[in-house]
Amino acid sequence: MHKVTLIPGDGIGPEITQVVIEVFDKLKAPISWEMVDAGAKAIKKYGTPLPEVVLESIKRNKVALKGPITTPVGEGFRSVNVTLREKLNLYANLRPVKSLPGINNKFEKIDLVIIRENTECLYKGIEYSIDESTSCAVRVITRAASEKIAKYAFDYARRHDRKKVTAVHKANIQKLTDGLFLQSIRNISNNYPEVEYEEKIVDNMSMQLVLNPEKYDVIVCPNLYGDILSDLAAGLIGGLGLAPGANIGDEIAVFEAVHGSAPDIAGKGIANPIALLRSSVMLLEYLEEYQLAKKLEFAIEKAVEDKNILTPDLKGKGTTESLKNKIISMLDL
């Protein structure tokens, strides 16, 4: 049995984590969940969105599945997602973007992975006001974190037999910060002669991804560019409802969907659970439960062939429930 921390989260979080619980039950996955609250529920209960019990549970179990947690814009608490990544030193954010058959027929062959630096850049949250009408933000890039993410990206390429790593930057403008990022990635790339290496400026990368996403394999980027490009890439395969992710550290991993808490559709029973289910496939792989991971991945691919049961974000008339039931019915094929 693997003990795994489960954080249902805010908005659609409880609805989609419930789907994972039921699907894992049907899969007979050897996992026991340790449920803890973070986000809005935790504020009510403990006065903080990220209580110590949550961090303790993840540190003890080393693996967690996390629903989305709301970050209020402009004021209030610092993002739980960002704090968690920082406190547990989850330095790599891994976001595979893979087409599902028949979902977006403009792009049927996308199979890329965005590897986003997860601890610094503008996410340090260092901001100050000079006066009432001027504010500044400090963007931090270090050689240590950049080399670490570069090494992770190239090791990932090697391990998964991926052919090319593309580094994304804006070093023509941010000469010191992105310059250091780029130089660090270049240094590390020399140790992997079998992996092709290229560099793209982030604006051009955005266009290239929209025009020719099939050309990309592993993409490594600083934190903010990674955030933006992964939503863009999610759009190419049919939306945020399909895009999984993982936050990886040396000893701890937290799996979560790329999307947020989607308050606009919370409680309506129409949230797409696939992004979190695909994150759970990654979790199973991380736990070396490869057969179960394959089974679930296959069931998702088969289920989406039935257009009637798809959730509205995939232009279907179905619900979270109908999609879940279809996926469960495909587990035994």
Looking at the annotation, which residues are catalytic? 123, 170, 203, 227
CA 47 to chain centre: 27
Residue 272 binding ligand ATP, by CB under 6 A: yes
- Residue 24: CB partners within 8 Å, gap ≥ 6? 31, 280
Q: Residues 204, 210, 215, 217: is their CA dihedral positive or negative? A: positive
Residue 233 binding ligand ATP, by CB under 6 A: no
Q: How many Cβ atoms sit within 10 Å of the Cβ of residue 298?
A: 14
**Positions 51 through 110 that interact with ligand ATP (CB under 6 A):** 68, 71
Residue 184 binding ligand ATP, by CB under 6 A: no
Pure H helices in 190-319: 202-211, 223-236, 274-286, 290-303
Q: How far is the CB of 315 from ligand ATP (least distance, A)?
A: 12
Residue 49 binding ligand ATP, by CB under 6 A: no
Binding mask 6-45 for ligand ATP (x = CB under 6 A): ------x---------------------------------
Q: How far is the CB of 241 from ligand ATP (least distance, A)?
A: 4
Q: How far is the CB of 272 from ligand ATP (least distance, A)?
A: 3
Q: Is the CB of residue 145 less than 8 Å from the CB of residue 117? A: yes
* Spatial distance between the Cα atoms of 241 and 273, rounded to a whole number of angstroms: 7
* Spatial distance between the Cα atoms of 299 and 287, rounded to a whole number of angstroms: 19
The count of chain residues that interact with Mg ion, using the rule CB under 5 A, is: 1
Residue 241 binding ligand ATP, by CB under 6 A: yes
Q: How many Cβ atoms sit within 10 Å of the Cβ of residue 53?
A: 14
Task: Identify what 271 binds: ligand ATP, Mg ion, none; CB under 5 to 8 Å per kind.
Answer: ligand ATP
Of 57 and 261, the one with the shorter C-beta distance to Mg ion is: 261
Of 156 and 225, the one with the shorter C-beta distance to Mg ion is: 225
Which residues lie across from 98 on neighbouring strands? 111
Among 96, 226, 260, 318, binds ligand ATP (CB under 6 A): 260
Choose the binding region for ligand ATP from 48-56, 165-173, 270-278, 292-300 (rule: CB under 6 A). 270-278
- Residue 82: CB partners within 8 Å, gap ≥ 6? 71, 123, 125
Q: In what helix (H) or strand (E) does residue 67 lie, and over which residues does it extend?
A: none
Among 62, 95, 116, 259, binds ligand ATP (CB under 6 A): 259
Q: In what helix (H) or strand (E) does residue 165 lie, and over which residues does it extend?
A: strand 164-169
Q: Is the CB of residue 20 less than 8 Å from the CB of residue 289? A: no
Pure H helices in 160-259: 177-189, 202-211, 223-236
- Residue 264: CB partners within 8 Å, gap ≥ 6? none
Q: How far is the CB of 165 from ligand ATP (least distance, A)?
A: 26
Q: In what helix (H) or strand (E) does residue 52 lie, and over which residues does it extend?
A: helix 52-61
Choose the binding region for ligand ATP from 82-90, 138-146, 218-226, 271-279 (rule: CB under 6 A). 271-279
Per the structure block, which two tokens stand in for 92?
């790599």
The count of chain residues that interact with ligand ATP, using the rule CB under 6 A, is: 15
Residue 261 binding ligand ATP, by CB under 6 A: yes
Residue 278 binding ligand ATP, by CB under 6 A: no
Residue with tokens 């296959």: 298
Residue 240 binding ligand ATP, by CB under 6 A: yes
Choose the binding region for Mg ion from 58-66, 258-266, 279-287, 324-332 (rule: CB under 5 A). 258-266
Q: Which residues bind ligand ATP (CB under 6 A)?
A: 12, 68, 71, 240-241, 259-262, 264-265, 271-272, 275, 313
Q: Which residues bind Mg ion (CB under 5 A)?
A: 260
